[in-house]
Amino acid sequence: ASRLAVASMGYHAQIIVLDWRLNEIISRFVLQEELSRIDFNPLDSDMMSGSSLNSFDIFLMRDLPLAEDGEKEQLESKEMFKLQQLEELEEFAAVFTDHAWLAPANGRLALASEEGAIFIVGSGLGIEDAENRAQHLDMDPVPYFVCRIAAPFGHTVSDQQVFGIRPFINGFVVAGASSQVAVWRLEQDENEGDENPVDIFAIPKYEHECTAVIDAGKGSAVASLDIVGSRDEVHVALCFDSSDITHFRLGAVGDCNGHLADSPLLGGGFHPGPVTCMDMAVHRAILVTACSQDASLRVWDYEAGRCELCWQAPEEPTGLALHPFGFLLAVSFSDRIRFMEILAKDLKLFSELHVKNVHLLRFSHGGHLLAAAQSKLILVFSTCNFRKIATLRGHPREVSSMAFDPLDRTLVTLGEDGKVCEWSTETWNSLNEYGTHGEAAAVATSGEGLVWAGVAEVEKTSFRTFRQGMHQESEDYIMHPSEHLCSMQLYSRPSEVSILAGDKNGKLIAFCGLTGALRSATLGLHSDAITAVCISADGHTVATAGRDGAMFVLAADGISDTARPDSKSREGPMEVVMINRGDIQLRQDEISDLSAQISALKTQLEENAARLQSELRARVEEARKQDQATIVSLRGKYEKLQQASTVKERDSLRKMKVMEELHVKAADDQEKAYDKRMRADSDSYDALQAELRDLEARFEQNRQRAQRTVEQQELKQEKEVHRRLNEKDTEIQKLKELIAFTQKRFDAMLDQEGMEQALEVSEIKKKNQEELEQQHLVEYKLKKDQDMLVRGLDMMEKDKDRIAMEQREASVNISNLRSEAELMKREVTSLKVERKEREATLRDKEMEIGTHKVKVQTLKKFKHVLDYRLREVTDSLKPKEDLIAQLHTQLHALEEEFEKQLEIQTQMEAVLESKAQQVASLAAEVDKQKEVLRQRERAIFRFCADLHELATGGEDTRNWHIGMKKIYRDHVNPEIFHQDEEQTRPVQEMARQIQVMERKATMLALRGKNGEATAKADIIRKTQENSLLIHELEELRTEKKALQAEAKELELQLRLGQNVQQVKAALPSTETPPPALEQLPQAVREIFEEAPEVPRNVMKGSTLKKAEKSTHHKSPEELRQRKKALRQSETAEQRLTRQRIREHLVPGELESMHKRRSAEQNSVASESSGSVPPSCASVPAGPALSVVRFGRST
């Protein structure tokens, strides 16, 4: 009653028998394949049965002998071994699904098969054998085949698979596909009684009683079956593949006429597949879950512990959210979001939104907002009018989790890449954005900038705390890498904040006291990842859902400050919303008024329909014409697109042909390499075959030599025995003659001779007894050697399993190294792309620097031409040249940094080559290990063959010690075991080198990232400095233009002054007042009127002051003002060019006038005596120039 048997799975599958009261291991047995069911024999707990898909075995436990001095003490008190297998079961080649020991206990079992047959077998241990087994421990029971039931569900149902079998008193129940159950009973013989005991070797006769279909299973197969009860009342419990559980009375199967319809479902039914979504209401005790396998939604009353409603969705739901009030449910599908009302027996559609690809929904705690995750976006809807109020963008990858704080002031979202965004629900602006530096799938927040997230990294998993976007590393809770948190729920109370999180292994982890002293607890629940965790409003109920299709509702203590209420579950249905009768009457009156209005509106609608129908026809006709025109245009576009597509298809076909040629060439090269490798492998295989043949020949020679020696020893022993027998016969004959002689001659000495002969006979008996004892001692030693050899064989099998496991681990390590090599290759390609980008940017920078140099050279040329003011400007340009020199030095530094990056890249390539060499060496090592494994398999085969030959060779058991010594000398060699220990050392060294290389690769990757970040920062800084330098050069260009304009004005004034001096020198020296503008000719007057005036109070040093402005770096506002001033200066320069054109016309006109005057004066002087007429002296040319003013107009 205190024994517990456990069967493990995996590479080291075994059976372990425990004594749970004493907490001790009784026995264990290593299995060749995994078992699906084990069971104890009710007659004897030392016998067990185990079945798998391909085999059925019976195991027996036997007490181990006490350990002698010097031997290692074993943990187990019993040894377990298999009994003889049934050859009849191997002939049927059945696939076993279940088995059970029959009742009452008589040592027989019933086996269920997938082919639809039931096998009855005997264990070989009956009731009397179980009672007397302590007296016959050296005799093992022999199992035997009893009978076979071909149609367990009746002859009307054929080829029906059997998935479960359980016994009751004098019968058993079988369950199979299509929700069928059959009952079989043992036929009772009338002659049986107390006087006639039951013969256990008699073939039992079972009678098919009835078969029924359980309607609660809905046609699905039975997954498991169990029976409980006494002889009079038996109850059956069934679990179906759809995860539904039902129970019924066994007698009801015979009374239902083939269909059992009134069997209840436990809990109202369960999900048949993974539960993808779950949410809990605040004001009602309900849960809503969604299953991806059958696309169903279920509403649960978690206080009563049952499913109240199951709604079949038209397609697979991608997400759900339950309103805090518990009457509205939001469900997302691939193309829309549906809002459903939760009624008593159904879900009613209330509204829907056509939004595609929504995979996550979350209601706020107040229920006024609904957040929907659409890939990278977060859409926020108002539940009052179901309108979108905000679209949040900030995640580069898909959003994996969302959470509102308890006061609905902030919304925290988490992306697949680990980026966390905090959003304000008032302005919908981003408050904080930061990364978790790892994979994260669950997030929670309590407001005021406090955020918690579960982060999974390569070497660890941590529960991290963030305050105002800063990671609080001191508050991290470190976990195992396998404990990756998948879901999370927060519960806040005034004293502290608690979080319940579920990981991918199915464990529920509680983090309490997050704002104070952190406490944690772990509870294992699910067999797969936990997809959702919910906490009730009072904090006393916790619900979890997992990918294994299970749900757990737990009572929680320590999360809430209030006392937990009574745990009595409600037996009635869910609460319903009650309405007052007066309100109902008011609603009815409103309905009557609305019906009258509806009738009036119907008549109005009919009139409007007739009018709108005529208008609709006209509009349809117009639309048809427009559609025809658009169709014609679209056809033309379609033809053009089709032509373009044909051209593209031809191009793509040409490219495909080229690619196919390349692929064919590569395939040919690979085939050649493969043929070459196969030839090399075939040569090595031939060499190994030849070596194997040599070894076999040597082994055959050794075997024949050993056989000859054994035969010679046997002949010698036979001759010795015959010689001793002859000697004994001669001695006996002499004794007989002596007796006859003494009887004849010495009758008086007869008694004395008889006594002497009696003494001799007693001595001979003693000698024979001693020889027998020596033979028994030899036999005991041989048995001991045999046990030692068997244990050695077990050790060799364990070594074989261990080597196989090491080989698998080595293959896994090789695959990991290959994946790392591929990752490093991808990094190298990305670095090469970045290198090309950097080279392109450097070329652009060099071109810009070249243009800057050209501009600087042009400025230097103008420096030699301009006057002192231009020299001062060039002196002000010297700092700029220094800046350019600094830029050159910085560019050289960048080039050196780029060369360093190239060196790092070459180092990484060298590391990759070393990795490839290591992979090749590891592959060679794996081949060596395979060869060693083959050699060990051959050694095991030879060892088994020698043992079999020794056991079945027909030799005398007294001579077995010779064969045992030979087997020990040939196979049990201590040097082999030392060699195995030496062979495991390279594998350990390889694992250590792999870890070292992984650390180096991570360090190189970090260095590469740091170098890349510094290079990018330097490039950005250089670009900013170049932009500032360009702005300053533009300023200098504008100043240069202004100085050139001023210099040209001064040169023009100088030339005009020289012309005026020449004119004054040519005219007579009589001083006359300058004539008025009205006295000049009309052409000259028009020129003077068009010329703009130049202010006389312009200082000569004004342009110099402009040029002497500071050339230091300016702010962006000063740069904008400077650009505005440049645009104004350009407009002024355009006006100045127009003025210069006019100024160039004035000197030419004055010169022509001067020539005419001089010609007239000369002619007059030649005619007269030299006096000047008054008409000529009244309009002098020189003084008229004083009216003309040159310069900028203000």
What is the tens place of the pLDDT at every residue in 353-374?
999 999 999 999 999 999 999 9
pLDDT for 374: 92
Of 1137 and 795, the one with more pLDDT: 795
Q: Identity (one letter) of the amino acid at 202?
A: A
Residue 73, pLDDT > 90, answer no
Going by C-alpha positions, the residue among 214, 28, 45 that lies closest to residue 125 is 45
Residue 582, pLDDT > 80, answer no
pLDDT for 974: 57
CA-to-CA distance for 680 and 671, rounded, in angstroms? 14
- pLDDT average, residue stretch 752-771: 77
CA-to-CA distance for 332 and 917, rounded, in angstroms? 53
Residue 330 exposure: Cα atoms within 13 Å on the Cβ side: 28
Length of the chain: 1194
Residue 128, pLDDT > 50, answer yes
Q: Which residue has the tokens 């009849």?
A: 88
The DSSP bridge partners found for residue 297 are 290, 311
* CB contact at 8 A, 528 and 253: no
pLDDT for 290: 93
Structure tokens at 638: 């379609």
The CA–CA distances, whole Å, from 395 to 434, 877, 1052 equal 11, 49, 67
Percent of the chain with pLDDT over 70: 80
When pLDDT is cut at 50, 70 and 90, the band that residue 340 belongs to is very high
The CA–CA distances, whole Å, from 641 to 443, 648, 653, 654 equal 49, 10, 18, 20
Residue 142, pLDDT > 80, answer yes
pLDDT for 1181: 38
pLDDT for 195: 44
Total Cβ atoms within 10 A of residue 1157: 17
Highest mean pLDDT among 15-24, 779-788, 1058-1067, 1149-1158: 15-24
When pLDDT is cut at 50, 70 and 90, the band that residue 863 belongs to is low
CA-to-CA distance for 184 and 139, rounded, in angstroms? 34
Structure tokens at 31: 């299995």
The CA–CA distances, whole Å, from 721 to 251, 377, 776, 826 equal 77, 102, 20, 85
For residue 64, the SS3 value is coil
pTM: 0.45
Total Cβ atoms within 10 A of residue 259: 10
pLDDT for 567: 52
- pLDDT average, residue stretch 50-78: 76
Going by C-alpha positions, the residue among 300, 256, 294 that lies closest to residue 275 is 294
**b/e 446-460 (16+ beta carbons within 10 angstroms → b):** bbebbbbbbbbeeee
Helices 581-745 and 960-971, interaxial angle, to 10°?
130
Residue 445 exposure: Cα atoms within 13 Å on the Cβ side: 30
pLDDT for 578: 38
CA-to-CA distance for 400 and 1080, rounded, in angstroms? 92
pLDDT for 173: 93
For residue 970, the SS3 value is helix
The CA–CA distances, whole Å, from 635 to 620, 621, 625, 641, 648 equal 22, 21, 15, 10, 19
pLDDT for 725: 79
When pLDDT is cut at 50, 70 and 90, the band that residue 1186 belongs to is very low
Q: Which residue has the tokens 């044909």?
A: 646
Q: Which residue has the tokens 């999974």?
A: 456
Residue 1178, pLDDT > 50, answer no
Q: Name residues whose C-beta falls within 8 Å of residue 1174's C-beta, 6 or more positions apart in sequence.
A: none
* pLDDT, averaged across the chain: 78
When pLDDT is cut at 50, 70 and 90, the band that residue 482 belongs to is confident
Residue 1031, pLDDT > 80, answer no
Which helix (DSSP H) or strand (DSSP E) does residue 276 occupy?
A: strand 275-280
Going by C-alpha positions, the residue among 300, 294, 274 that lies closest to residue 529 is 274
- pLDDT average, residue stretch 1003-1012: 80
Q: Name residues whose C-beta falls within 8 Å of residue 1144's C-beta, 6 or more positions apart in sequence.
A: none
Q: Identity (one letter) of the amino acid at 1032?
A: E
* CB contact at 8 A, 950 and 961: no
- pLDDT average, residue stretch 910-938: 85
Task: For residue range 616-638, list pLDDT tens digits in order.
Answer: 888 888 888 888 888 888 888 88
Of 346 and 1132, the one with more pLDDT: 346
pLDDT for 1091: 43
Which helix (DSSP H) or strand (DSSP E) does residue 442 occupy?
A: strand 439-447
Residue 576, pLDDT > 60, answer no
CA R_g for the chain: 53
- pLDDT average, residue stretch 430-459: 85
Task: For residue range 957-994, list pLDDT tens digits in order.
Answer: 667 777 777 777 777 655 554 555 555 566 567 667 77
Task: For residue range 662-699, list pLDDT tens digits in order.
Answer: 888 887 887 788 788 778 877 878 888 888 888 888 88
CA-to-CA distance for 5 and 46, rounded, in angstroms? 11
Helices 1116-1167 and 974-1066, interaxial angle, to 10°?
30
Q: What share of the chain is helix, strand, coil (3-state, %, to 5)?
A: 50, 25, 25
Task: For residue range 26-59, list pLDDT tens digits in order.
Answer: 898 998 888 989 999 988 888 999 998 888 999 9
The dihedral formed by the CA atoms of 724, 726, 728 and 732, expressed in degrees to the nearest 10: 180
Of 379 and 594, the one with more pLDDT: 379
Residue 347, pLDDT > 70, answer yes
- pLDDT average, residue stretch 863-887: 68
Structure tokens at 1129: 């200066």
For residue 1023, the SS3 value is helix
Going by their DSSP bridges, the two strands 275-280 and 259-260 should be labelled as unpaired
**Lowest-confidence pick of 341-350, 732-741, 955-964:** 955-964
- pLDDT average, residue stretch 1150-1157: 68
When pLDDT is cut at 50, 70 and 90, the band that residue 1101 belongs to is very low
Structure tokens at 784: 């001991």
Going by C-alpha positions, the residue among 86, 100, 14, 95 that lies closest to residue 53 is 95
CA-to-CA distance for 1120 and 72, rounded, in angstroms? 93
Strands of the 319-322 sheet, one edge to the other: 319-322, 328-332, 337-342, 347-353
Q: Which residue has the tokens 């859902």?
A: 545
pLDDT for 1153: 66
pLDDT for 987: 58
When pLDDT is cut at 50, 70 and 90, the band that residue 65 belongs to is confident
DSSP, res 369? E
Task: For residue range 398-421, list pLDDT tens digits in order.
Answer: 999 999 998 999 999 999 888 899
For residue 321, the SS3 value is strand
Structure tokens at 631: 């169709």
pLDDT for 381: 95
DSSP, res 294? T
When pLDDT is cut at 50, 70 and 90, the band that residue 437 belongs to is confident
pLDDT for 1088: 43
* CB contact at 8 A, 919 and 993: no
Task: For residue range 214-232, list pLDDT tens digits in order.
Answer: 888 888 888 888 998 776 6
Of 992 and 332, the one with more pLDDT: 332
Of 329 and 1066, the one with more pLDDT: 329
When pLDDT is cut at 50, 70 and 90, the band that residue 261 belongs to is confident
CA-to-CA distance for 461 and 463, rounded, in angstroms? 7
